[in-house]
Amino acid sequence: MKTQEQAIRISADSVEQLRKIDVYRVLDSCPRVSRHTPKGTSKEVALYVIQHRPELRQEVIDCMAELGCELRIPPPEDLKVRAA
């Protein structure tokens, strides 16, 4: 299980089941970016949510701003989920 999926499990069984009202809770539970926590940071989880749930994009942006985190989002075509 990916680190991002583990972070989402605080509020939902999967990213597909994540509700809009739980986005802030998930992102707030993640560590902020630092050289000591390169994996599973709030930015990585935010991008993961946007990649898998594009309809939550604005909610993720708003929550990250409220948390004081700058989020640079790649163009949508760069975020498409790759087939396994």
Q: Which range (12-16, 34-38, 78-82) has the least confidence? A: 34-38
Q: Which range (34-38, 67-71, 75-79) has the least confidence? A: 34-38
Which pLDDT tens digit goes with each residue over 16-50?
999 999 999 999 998 876 555 555 688 889 999 99
User: Which three-class secondary structure string do you get for the chain?
Assistant: CCHHHHHHCCCCCCHHHCCHHHHHHHHHHCCCCCCCCCCCCHHHHHHHHHHHCHHHHHHHHHHHHHCCCCCCCCCHHHHCCCCC
Predicted TM-score of the model (pTM) = 0.79
| Predicted pLDDT of residue 83 | 45
In the chain, what percentage of residues exceed pLDDT 70? 79
Tell me the two tokens of residue 82.
């790759």
Give yes or no for a contact between 36 and 13, defined as CB atoms under 8 angstroms apart. Answer: no
| Predicted pLDDT of residue 34 | 53
Q: Which residues contact 57 (CB under 8 A, 6 or more apart)?
A: 50, 73
